[in-house]
Amino acid sequence: MKSAIEKAALLIAEEKYEEAVKLLGEVKKEQNEIQKRLEIELNLMRAYYELEEIDKVKECVAFILDNTSQSDNSQARITAVKMKEWLDDAPVDWSGEYDTVKQIGIKDYRQKYYDECKDLWKKYVPKSGQADNLQGELLRQVEKLRGEACGNGNRNWDDNFEWFCVFLTETLLASKLFSEDEQRKIHAALGYIKENGNYARDYIEGRIKEYEVDVLKLAYVNDDLYDYLADAVAVFYINNKNPIVYEAKDFIYR
């Protein structure tokens, strides 16, 4: 049998916020145990946020922060801290912007095969739609990923972009043209792009709330990551100068 708090959480998930507030308000009167009160306040905070009752949200935040310590890693504390930052319109901490790309090992990467990429683009990438050759399609997909992240912040991320990440990874690694370290970097770079894109989609589609979002996870907007992948495609092109037939996919519209 579900507890009142669990029932309230389900009501919130079903967007029945007023019912959740009523139920939690009744339970709150009878609850003295601090851990249970924190759960109640957490769910009330979420419901009040959706109802745009900001003063009530602030009350919940204050209660949670007053009754937890800075070393507390509970969901209530973490969410309340993020909510307070959102309420205070705190500036974004950009210090970790490059952490993942540094770990991959391609921070500040300078493109080596710009001319080859330019030649490939001119010869084999159509003005619109998919290429009819593999070399051109690989570069087209890299630039689609770059454009979506740098130009749109991954706001339009969908299954097509995710498929590009998978296809590029599988095709480049299967070519056996790259060292183990280069393969690791290609795999990690495309995995990072996909991770950012899916996070952005979750945010755009409402699965991540405004007060929960980490802007550093939405999109990577520096060229070094994409230049590295473009160069990987250039290496593939240099070793495969004759066009390899590529059959357009019916489900691709990007």
CATH number of the domain at 80, please.
Answer: 1.25.40
Q: What is the pLDDT of residue 1?
A: 56
Please give the residue range of the domain that contains residue 21.
4-87
Task: Extract long-range pairs of 173-177: CB within 8 Å, 24+ residues apart.
Answer: 175/236, 175/239, 177/235, 177/236, 177/239
Q: What are phi and psi of 65, to 5 degrees?
A: -70, -35
Same domain, 106 and 226: yes
Same domain, 140 and 222: yes
Q: Is residue 103 in some structural domain?
A: yes
Q: What is the pLDDT of residue 65?
A: 94
Which of 58, 87, 116 is where one domain is finished?
87
Q: Is residue 247 in some structural domain?
A: no
Which segments of the chain have a pLDDT < 50?
Answer: none
Same domain, 119 and 223: yes
Q: How many domains does the chain have?
A: 2
Same domain, 148 and 205: yes
Same domain, 136 and 205: yes
Q: Is residue 70 in some structural domain?
A: yes
Same domain, 106 and 75: no
Q: What is the pLDDT of residue 76?
A: 93
Q: What is the pLDDT of residue 90?
A: 77
Which of 32, 63, 87 is where one domain is finished?
87
pTM equals: 0.80
Q: Is residue 13 in some structural domain?
A: yes
Same domain, 49 and 76: yes
Same domain, 128 and 220: yes
Longest pairwise C-alpha distance within the chain = 76
Q: Is residue 244 in some structural domain?
A: no
Q: Structure tokens of 192?
A: 């990072």
Q: What is the pLDDT of residue 84?
A: 92
Rounded-to-integer distance, Cα 23 and Cα 43, Å? 11
Same domain, 225 and 102: yes
Q: What is the pLDDT of residue 35?
A: 87
Q: What is the pLDDT of residue 94?
A: 85
Which of 87, 105, 129 is where one domain is finished?
87
